[in-house]
Structures are given as C-alpha cells and as structure tokens.
Amino acid sequence: MLVFFSILIIIISALFFLIGYSYFHNRAEDLLMRSLTGKIEKIRDKEEYKKIQGKYSILMGIFFLTFPITVYLVKSLNINPNFLYLWLFLFAFTIVLNAIQVRKFY
C-alpha cells in the first residue's frame, strides 16, 4: 500500500513540475489561467502572476517528490514518525504564503 501511495505522490509531483514548466514558458495559458470564479480576468499583471504560480508549482513538485523519500528514511532509520508532521507544516505554510502573494494581483 505504501508503494502505491509513493508512486501516486511521485506522479502528482511530475504533474506539478509540468504545470510549473507551463507557467514559466507560457504554454497552455488558456488552460492554466482558467478559473471557476471568473477572477482571472481581473488580474493586473498576468506575467508576474504566472511567474509566482510557476514557482509555487515547482516548489510543490519538490515537496511531493521528497515526501516519499522522507517516509522511506523514517521507516528505514527508525526515526520518530512524528517527524513527518513537519511536512504538514511546510505544506500549510507554502499554501498560505502563496495565497498572500497571489492576493496582490487582484
């Protein structure tokens, strides 16, 4: 079961890297700049917005890529499993930081 979740997380990581690459190189702008709320049309500086979202996507890709490695190290080196709660804190911090950075574009 752990192997399945590790593979799934690595696939999610690859998707985040592809999204980050797309943001940085202006690929699939219509697909990436879509929103259900309709606020995308109100963005003041789309280039800077795409740059920040690209960095965020790459960072999330790195997080999702290193998480299975950390789980493996915790299991193999008998490190305290509570160490994995650090990832939850990092994810929450990254999401809140991105929300604050993106807010200035509306």
pLDDT for res 37: 56
pLDDT band at 15 (very low <50, low <70, confident <90, very high): very high
How do residues 19-77 score in pLDDT, each as one tens digit? Answer: 899 888 887 666 777 665 566 677 788 888 888 888 999 999 999 999 888 988 898 99
Place of tokens 């200035």: 104
**What integer is the mean pLDDT of 3-7?**
90
d(CA 106, CA 103): 6
97's CB contacts (< 8 A; 6+ apart) are none
Task: Specify the amino acid at residue 29.
Answer: E
* Tally of residues, the chain: 106
